[in-house]
Amino acid sequence: MGITQRSWGFTPEGEAVILYTLTNASGASVEVTNLGASLISARVPDRKGALADVVLGYKDWQSYIADAPYMGKSVGRYANRMGDAKFTLDGKEYLLPPNEGRNQLHGGRATWADRIWEGRVEGNRVVFSIASPDGEGGYPGNMTAETAYHWSDECELEIVYSAETDAPTVVNMTNHAYFNLAGEASGSAMGHELQLNASTFIPTRPDNIPTGELWPVEGTPMDFRKAKPLGRDIDADYPQITDAAGYDRCWVIDGWRRNILGEAGFLYDPVSGRKMTILSSQPGIQLYSGNFLKGSPVGKSGAPYANRTGVALECQGFPDAPNHPNFPSQTLRPGERYIQKIVYAFSAES
């Protein structure tokens, strides 16, 4: 395993944007950056051994600043949505700056996704650290957090999230990469087959905030218990799809146990043979089918991305969990350590 690093540029404040490349024994590689602790690329082989970059991204680092898709970023303090931009913890209500209508998305703007993290190489992994002051994004407690990337000779990308706080707070971290296993510039990803180990999903209001219920997928276009093309049911006349112009909901992983890594499902491209198996220690997985990628910055291959040219599979705690006592708790208290793991395991089928 080899890790190299180079300067990708400098912010107006003089902070260095660093690009790290992790290359395994077969020559497959991933790139990550300290800007947003982001995943920039993953070059993995197809069934014939040909490498292609399967992660959507931009030509230059400046395009990652305040981009609407949160391309490849580590998002927090609270990934996904917080309804009405508020929550109550230990009897105290916290008001959050809204950034999606009246709600807050991914911890608000000008927070972790767009900041420069401190990066370092530790053995065969790259670790990014950030200090989040009390009140940032409206959240209580001084928090320190890390995102660690490890790339194996078996083409397994392991992402570990950890955080600590000096006051009771909530936290929910995930990665927001978009995948197209045929190659990031290959067009629609709707021919990819997706399988999820999920018998239920979290329905939402029209503004994408959970109702607090869990609905069975059986008999609905939300059923991915058996692999099927993403595009098969994506235009179904079903409010949980039409309200979001495609898939943008959180599925509940069957058999989830806290702090135990389990298999969430897989994404497969029948054309290239590339397969990405997803393992996670978190209770949910947000499937977002890239419904609004059109209009984002120019892609790394020089052409703009169209809607649905990539799919995000965000392993995470449930959206809006602090406002739903029946959801698994995302509370973090002093003396505790939040730690979650995601593994994207790439392979190729003949």
Q: Annotated catalytic residue: which of 31, 106, 150, 176?
A: 176
20/1 Cα distance (integer angstroms): 13
Mean pLDDT of the chain: 97
Mean pLDDT of all residues in 62-84: 96
Percent of the chain with pLDDT over 70: 100
Say what the pLDDT of residue 320 is.
98
Going by the DSSP 8-state scheme, the letter that residue 318 receives in this structure is: P
Q: Where are the beta strands (DSSP E) in 189-296?
A: 193-196, 200-202, 215-216, 228-229, 248-252, 262-268, 274-280, 284-288
Contact 236, 247 (CB under 8 A): no
Contact 17, 7 (CB under 8 A): yes
pLDDT confidence tier of residue 59, bands split at 50, 70 and 90: very high
131 pLDDT more than 80: yes
> Is 213 one of the catalytic residues?
no
Say what the pLDDT of residue 199 is.
98
Q: Annotated catalytic residue: which of 31, 136, 164, 314?
A: 314
Flag whether the pTM goes above 0.95: yes
pLDDT confidence tier of residue 133, bands split at 50, 70 and 90: very high
Mean pLDDT of all residues in 48-58: 98
Say what the pLDDT of residue 1 is.
77
2-348 in CATH: which number? Answer: 2.70.98.10
Hunting for tokens 């239920």 — which residue is that? 200
350/320 Cα distance (integer angstroms): 41
CA-derived radius of gyration, the chain: 19
Say what the pLDDT of residue 156 is.
98
Which amino acid appears at position 176 of this protein?
H
pLDDT confidence tier of residue 350, bands split at 50, 70 and 90: confident
Contact 203, 220 (CB under 8 A): no
> Is 314 one of the catalytic residues?
yes
110 pLDDT more than 80: no
Q: Where are the domains of the chain?
A: 2-348
> Residue 51: helix, strand or coil by DSSP?
strand
Q: pLDDT (tens digit, 9 = 90+) per residue, 234-292?
A: 999 999 999 999 999 999 999 999 999 999 999 999 999 999 999 999 999 999 999 99
Q: pLDDT (tens digit, 9 = 90+) per residue, 309-320?
A: 999 999 999 999
Say what the pLDDT of residue 84 is.
97
